Chain A
Amino acid sequence: MIELKRIEKIYRRGAEDVHALRGVDLSIGKGELLAITGPSGAGKTTLLHILGCLDQPTAGEVLIDGVDAARLPEAQLVGLRRVKIGFVFQQFYLIPGLSVFDNIALPLLFSRKPASREKIAALAEMVGLSHRLDHVPAQLSGGEMQRTAIARGLVNDPEILLADEPTGNLDSENSDRIFEILRSLSSSGLTTVMITHNPDLAARAGRTVHIRDGAVHP
């Protein structure tokens, strides 16, 4: 369902051109749980952003359900992000003033859908936060914050969930819990791509791709 073909990405950083991705070919099937590993600066995050229609490659094709996202204008990329993609970040990026409920509901604001209480409650229950809906992020533990972020990533019913080091700021117990949530999501049909530095978690994923110097090393 997702196919990357000969992806090249070059961007400017100060005076130099950074060749972040060099001819990446990758196909990801529906419901797969894919772990991306590799050293810092290898191009993992750039790859994830291209998968998430947040960034576009310098060359190559990004086929999502047969549509080449690499050639779409920004307005249509926004549409794709709203409908098909959920993002989870290492730093959670919750909005401090908003409750857990409102943080989870935030993407609905942008996709112009009503925030139904049942739906948010169901998502919160799925990530184990039913008792925290009225709390603000400052009152949560790191694991709870990331579970809030996962629920937020799921609220638009995406087909793909992209997580950039979702356990990078968590202890092993919370990391396990997050990983289990991602695994159960993928087994229920959600395509899940996760960047991780944790070799244990990578080993437990359905498939692992290793990226070094902008290229895939199986």
Chain B
Amino acid sequence: MSGYLKLAVKNLLRHRTRSALTMLGIAASVGVLFSVLSFNRGFNEGLAQELERTGLHFMVVPSGCAHEVAALVLHGAVIPKFLDTGVMQHLQAADGIALATPILVAQLPNVQKGRIDLVYGVDMQALAAIKPGWRITGRIPSQPDEILLGHEVAGHEKLKPGDVFTVTADGRRLVVAGIVGLTGSQDDAFVYLPIATAQQLLNRPHAATAIGVKVADPERMGEITDALTAAVPGIQIVTMGQVMNSIANLAAAARAMSLAIVLIAVLISAVGVMNSILMAVFERSQEIGMMRAVGASRRDVFRIILEETAILSLGGGIVGIVVAILGSTLIETFVRSVMPYVPSGNLISFDPLLALGSVAFITAIGLGAGLYPAWKASKINPVEAIKG
């Protein structure tokens, strides 16, 4: 260990509690910084993955608000506007389309139970393409009166495959064919049924909330959407990229806020460092006077104090990252419970570059906070300090 470093370490160890508390402040702020940055990154990646997993390239919806569509795609919002499935003819006739499937999302009164169910009507054959990530207990419905239950619905009603879910107003018995495994998303709250059944129950024989489309060649998507928009009146095409942008925009405000709070925490910890080091400098002014007398220059004194700050910041930074990584599951559970939409998958994953960047950032801030105490120490007049 170099002489200066050893001196700095020994000095910090003289006030263990104070050094530890200062380090804790830094650790807390860098831990939060790292968690927020990791979360933001994980959020964007998770979102992209989730959209990719839907297996669809764009949605055809009635002209309206793009945010509504984003909400529809990601957690099945109910939009009080419907498309006529007649649009399907245009889509099937269009060139370069691999799959087009109508989706009907609605609220359906459940007469028997006296409440309203969220229903998601979809062509069961296309389900594997729309929700490729699902694990299903039982099987995908093959009959018009068979349904699939979201995990939460099934759990709440204590239903298993083969049970009767409800008897509708016109006397139809809807039987549970399968139950979707826990997704951690809004998918858990829906009842999935064949789209034709949904249309009948809602008494809207040709209605759809949206039509999901998969193209054969994603590179030709622009061309295809342009042609469709021109040919079919009253529709709007929202690509997955646009959906992602909408969500990202919504999330950006929250992220800016959280980042601002983190930066304030970092600032507070920097003030803590400055305070702690400044106190140490004042306490040791006689000793600094002695060092000047035995040959230390102003610059030497400056360096000793700055190295103490560097050790505090670096140490605190590393501790903070380690704690953030160890506690990431806890943080993630908390975030999931408060955020309205969170993509599935690991949000906080260890990215060495981000960890390194966070530690470097806090060390730079810490060093900045150490400049003033170090300068102050270098200005101590040895003659006055030794006289005491």
Contact = CB atoms under 8 A, between A and B. Distances in A.
B294 A95 contact: no
A147 to B, nearest CB: 16
Contact of A93 (B287, B300, B387): B287
The CB with the most chain B CB atoms within 10 A, among A45, A46, A93, A153, is that of A93
B10 A97 contact: yes
B382 to A, nearest CB: 5
Contact of B14 (A52, A81, A96): A96
A143 to B, nearest CB: 19
A134 B13 CA distance: 17
A48 B255 CA distance: 63
Given A49-B383, A54-B383, A93-B286, A98 B297 contact: no
Interface string B278-306: 00000000110111111111101000000
Nearest to A97: B10
B11 interface: yes
A49 B290 CA distance: 12
A111 B295 contact: yes
B295 A81 contact: yes
Interface size class of A (residues with CB under 8 A): 20 to 34
A110 B290 contact: no
B295 A110 contact: yes
Contacts of B293: 52, 54, 81, 87, 89
Nearest to A49: B383
B7 A110 contact: no
Contacts of B7: 95, 98, 106, 109
A164 B6 CA distance: 28
Interface in B3-33: 3-4, 6-7, 10-11, 13-14
B14 A106 contact: no
Given A97-B13, A109-B3, A109-B4, A156 B295 contact: yes
B61 to A, nearest CB: 70
Interface string A144-173: 000000001100100000001000000000
B286 A55 contact: no
Given A93-B287, A95-B7, A109-B3, A152 B294 contact: yes
A82 interface: yes
Given A45-B387, A93-B289, 5 more contacts: A54-B383, A87-B293, A87-B294, A105-B3, A110-B297
14 contacts: A52-B293, A54-B386, A78-B295, A86-B294, A89-B293, A89-B386, A91-B388, A93-B287, A93-B386, A96-B14, A102-B6, A105-B3, A109-B3, A109-B4
Interface of A: 45-46, 49, 52, 54-55, 74-75, 78, 81-82, 86-87, 89, 91, 93, 95-98, 102, 105-111, 115, 152-153, 156, 164
